Structure 1
């Protein structure tokens, strides 16, 4: 449907077509990590440009390099400022920000700086696309409130196995802060049974309710709306990438 709308606008002689994609699908397929697999993130980028898109506005890409898949401008926003305001209001004491895997360390470090908290990492081993084994925790979390941060979760394997290990190692309250909660049936079941006390996410995707789990959905409409307004007025959007003096990338 998105490609059809872009094509219709192009055929109607639209001067500029800015495509707003809060959640960029297929973002995890950004490289060829085994034989005979597609690089779907690149394919989608090619199709968007071929359809007639002149500019892309998106949020919290799973892989930063996806911006380079496009030959048109890409404005990459972060949900972090919205998350930060909510977390600041909670005033959590003895907080440690945890990256549920090594790949998310940069994001976790940005959160820990802004929240002036400790930092820890969970080392994991992925058995398959759906099964993850948490091996060790680098950092002190015993007796602390813990905030896990990640860009997206679908099967929730990484989050729930990390949460189980964190609770086993003495963590008190466990929160998970995820930009895109695209939970499938397996992910919902895992989250329902997990040690996570609260899932904090955004409205970039439609999210089903999960019985027995406190879910807080924060709106990023204001952030996207401001970006759209600035793009329309040919104003700078650089300040929207800032995260209270820092960046998540």
Structure 2
């Protein structure tokens, strides 16, 4: 009975604390201007819960949805500029507004991120970026607003240079990656929606349609929602392959 009560309590906590929709502010790759830099905003009860990545145009797109607000919590998947190029702009906006922003950053990325932002400061103030950004190094998981959020290394360029984000029972976000069947088949076993990197044609750093169809089971394919593609015309290829895809500024229900 005690075990059953614990499961009920865990389920009730998940239902009340977890985000209930995902809004892609952008779904494009680094060269796509029309689709925007890939960034996903998790929303709970109509309010921002956690932003995944902050590219060059992410803040502008965030303001289109939540006017006069800045993101307050951000998870960084990796350090390519189409995913972190908006952090400097965010620092200045937040510092001038007297606000702080918590950055959840996988530990293997911390040193390089600090180096990237080392000259970011307001010249007239005796402060630096880390008095506005609250750096929260992440190992295997972190706690955010009452929920345990997991992160795993994925296959993008060098080992331990890019990371996914996972809310068990809710969603899995791959970040930029090649196929990761050994990971998804092990951790994404609770019918989560899987947001996955995919263009029409893959390369050594990103997944393509043929890669996903070859590497993933029918169950996993049925739960995929792809993003990080090059142009709107790519969607016709996804449709022919039977793959669901994300659109910019279109909300996706999570639960």
* TM-score of the two chains, using structure 2 as the length reference: 0.33
**Which structure has the highest helix share of the two?**
1
Which structure is larger by alpha-carbon Rg, 1 or 2?
A: 1
* TM-score of the two chains, using structure 1 as the length reference: 0.33
